[in-house]
Amino acid sequence: MTFANLSGLTALVTGGSRGIGRAIAAQLRANGAEVVIHGTNAAKLDEVAGELGGARTIVADLFDPASIEKIAAQAGEVDILINNAGITRDALFLRQKPEQWDEVLTVNLTRVVALTRALYPAMAKQGFGRIVNVTSIIAHTGNVGQTNYATAKAALTGFTKSLAKETARKGVTVNAVAPGFIATDMTDTLPEAIRENIMKSIPAQRFGETADIAAAVAFLASREAGYITGSTVHVNGGLYV
């Protein structure tokens, strides 16, 4: 038996045009899934689709409430939903503007719930589905300047656990993957002194790769992971133990 063979399954990856989402889309495609990638930049989505040897793309801005209906309609029935899209609007709590709070909660939580609500019924009807929410180590540790982000990701973790209890009898699993510090465009912009300080706190003594997250997601999306639900897989090199 080939491990994590996703042939015959269709997966939707939100935020699939760059970083972790791009790596997840590539891994799922490599494992045999038909992949649909969502993002806001049509050119980047087309670039990724080309790398994957062909993939459907959906351009939608999650700040727009109508985006969920658009994504659901264009994706159609999917077997695997990867809620990866997310944003940050960092600022110390007392300096954080209300719109910074609202934007992060909207994209990282409210739209995830809405898209899951739109796509879950078809999974339940067919008796199979995999929902994987990309959360963050920050949901479990907190972080200075990220009260909005930590709140959204912690709430998403609670959503994952509770929904898992409702969907298990329908053959649909709901899990989360919580990345630690991963080498992406975002971490590349950190000052060298901060990067070195972070590195010292990671037992593995390195930042993770996007492929590390993609591997965990692909496992949870597989048929073989059918008895795992309501769990969070921490991928952080030992930083959160």
Whether residue 2 is contained in a domain is answered as no
Residue 240 lies in a domain: no
In a domain, 45, yes or no: yes
Residue 64 lies in a domain: yes
Domain with 64 in it: what CATH number?
Answer: 3.40.50.720
Q: Is 210 helix (H, G, I), strand (E, B) or coil?
A: helix
Arithmetic mean of pLDDT, 214-224: 98
The torsion angles phi and psi of 149, rounded to 5 degrees, stand at -65, -45
Residue 237 lies in a domain: no
Measure the CA–CA gap between 210 and 182, rounded to whole angstroms. 6
1: pLDDT confidence band, cut at 50, 70 and 90?
A: very low
Residue 136 has pLDDT above 90, yes or no: yes
Q: What percent of the chain has pLDDT over 70?
A: 99
CA 156 → CA 44, 74, 164, 170, 184, distances in Å?
27, 24, 12, 21, 22
At 76 the pLDDT is 97
Per the prediction, the chain carries an average pLDDT of: 96
Mean pLDDT, residues 103-124 taken together: 98
Residue range(s) defining the domain that contains residue 208: 10-230
Residue-wise over 179-198: b if at least 16 C-beta within 10 A, else e?
Answer: bbbbebeeeeeeeeeeeeee
Which H or E run includes 118? helix 111-126
pLDDT for res 191: 84
Confidence of residue 133 (pLDDT cuts 50, 70, 90): very high
199 exposed, middle or buried (CB, 10 Å; 0-12, 13-18, 19+)? middle
- The pLDDT confidence band at residue 144, using thresholds 50, 70 and 90, is very high
pLDDT single digits (tens) 65-93: 999 999 999 999 999 999 999 999 999 99
pLDDT value at 119 more than 50 = yes
The mean per-residue pLDDT over the stretch 101-119 comes to 98
Angle at 27 between CA 61 and CA 134, to 5 degrees: 50
- Which pTM does this prediction carry? 0.96
Nearest to 32 by CA among 48, 15, 53, 14: 53
Number of domains the chain contains: 1
**Tens digits of per-residue pLDDT, 163-204?**
999 999 999 999 999 999 999 877 777 788 888 889 999 999
Active site residues: 149
Task: Judge whether 236 lies within some domain.
Answer: no
Question: Is the separation of the CB atoms in 61 and 40 below 8 Å?
Answer: yes
pLDDT in tens, 20-61: 999 999 999 999 999 999 999 999 999 999 999 999 999 999
Report yes or no on 123 lying in a domain: yes
Residue 2 has pLDDT above 70, yes or no: no
Residue 241 lies in a domain: no
Contact 221, 2 (CB under 8 A): no
C-beta separation of 55 from 29 below 8 A: yes
Three-class secondary structure of residue 14 per DSSP: coil
177 bridge partner residues: 134, 233
